[in-house]
Structure 1
Amino acid sequence: MRQGNVSSALRALNENESGGVLPLTRETIRQLEEKHPPPSDLTGLRLQGMHIPPNSVIYEMITGEMVWKKSLQTHGSAGPSGLDARGWRRLLSNTICGSGASDLCSALAALARKLATTTCHHLDAFTACRLIPLDKKPGCRPIGIGEVIRRVVGKCIMAVVKEDVRRAAGNLQVCAGQQAGGEAAIHAMREIFAQEDCEAVLLVDARNAFNSINRKNNAS
């Protein structure tokens, strides 16, 4: 509570919540492997058509100041490196680390610009996650915690291209920055089902599709 983590404190008081982290046994590893199928190949609709990359000059908007502001908006636990969001904010703060913090912010801004404009290889450490098996009572809930630096860089890049992503996604992906997109989709379907001439079949896809997408690290 003193750290401001009200939700975590309430979960600690609720006996019906998660039972913590499962021990790393063969059964736990088997459950994790089942929930994380092999990634798909580089095929599909996302690669169809001519790829026209945006003008790289737009990423010059990513500066050290933007990195600092986005770090203030980044929260969460640490990835494999062990440095959480609070630790990164301390490193990027001029008040605490002086001029070295400005140099680090500028270096992260340069990294973001390079990732957005060139084809980069050997990003395993940058994209690595810490896999945590939580006890669902019963079952296993895998939680992947990536590096904080990856989240900060991602926020900086999305700050530049968010309007392009919103236009490209349109109404096919209501989570791509659309204002109240999920709520609008629910109300639209509710109105359609309420019509007398409406006939529909509800199909539920329970496959673990998110974890089966391509996760190769050799693309820009």
Structure 2
Amino acid sequence: MSNAKLHADGLVRCPWPGEDPFYMAYHDTEWGVPEYDDRALFEKLILDGFQAGLSWITILRKRENFRKAFDNFEPAKIARYDAKKVEALMNDAGIVRNRAKIEGTVAGAKAYLKIMDEGPGFSKLLWDHVGGKPKVNAFKTTKSVPASTPVSIAVSKDLASRGFKFVGPTIVYAFMQATGIVNDHLISCHCYDTCGTAKRPKKLKVPKKA
């Protein structure tokens, strides 16, 4: 039996957003939508790395702060960060202040630039692992959804070998789910059949309490 949930708006969703309007909007408009933009994929991978040990909603509510702090996740700018900039980020209360993750972001930016300069391109590198199109699963319950897969293990090894940090198989699989490389919406969820064609919003409105 599916554990997808019927909400007050008449839509059945995966259970993980709960009743949080902000989280439900993210689920409906972003999670699982195929992303092919190189920079956007880099941003999401870095944010998933910052999530390690935390909940995704915590990172999502701080996403705009992260974008401001990290120059909108422009790899060419991040790759030039020096010790002074790292210290400034360590003093930024708007983000997750973890030195290893901040320094890992700089390392990831350098690795990204090398992939873009020498090939094959960041988006192509990732999507080639699934043949260039989303892998559509058919899970009925969240208990059936794996934490990692052979593909996420392969992507993890690929990224780590190129210099990325905080890219373990579980982090990578969460990243693959969020960016639509795999479709892990439950089959009863209203997004299951449409996320491949959904339109991405320009920005989610962060609640004032965030």
TM score, norm. by length of structure 1: 0.28
For CA contacts below 8 A with separation 6 or more, give which structure has more relative contact order.
Answer: 2
> Could you state the TM-score of these two structures normalised by the residue count of structure 2?
0.29
